[in-house]
């Protein structure tokens, strides 16, 4: 299981996004950003998504 706290990464987001893979966490983060009005996901934002995604201990 992986998670990303989107506070500080996506403006206005206060969720913790969890999924079974890092790719799914990032996909959900992109959807969340779009729902919050982010029109363009920049390469820098994608890097922030990757850096903020962590693996939870089993």
- pLDDT digits over 9-52, tens only? 998 999 999 999 999 999 999 999 999 999 999 999 999 999 99
Residues 6+ apart with CB under 8 A from 15: 5, 6, 7, 32
State the pLDDT at residue 58.
Answer: 80
Tell me the sheet residues that pair with 19. Answer: 2
4 pLDDT band (50/70/90 cuts)?
A: very high
Structure tokens at 36: 């919050």
Indicate the number of domains in the chain.
Answer: 1
Tell me the pTM: 0.90
Domain with 19, as residue range(s), is 2-55
State the pLDDT at residue 8.
Answer: 86
């Amino acid at each position: 299981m992986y998670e990303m706290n989107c506070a500080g990464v996506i403006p206005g987001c206060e969720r913790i996004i969890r999924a079974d893979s890092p790719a799914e966490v990032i996909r959900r983060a992109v959807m969340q950003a779009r729902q919050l009005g982010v029109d363009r996901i920049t390469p820098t934002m994608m890097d922030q998504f990757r850096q903020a995604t962590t693996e939870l201990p089993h």
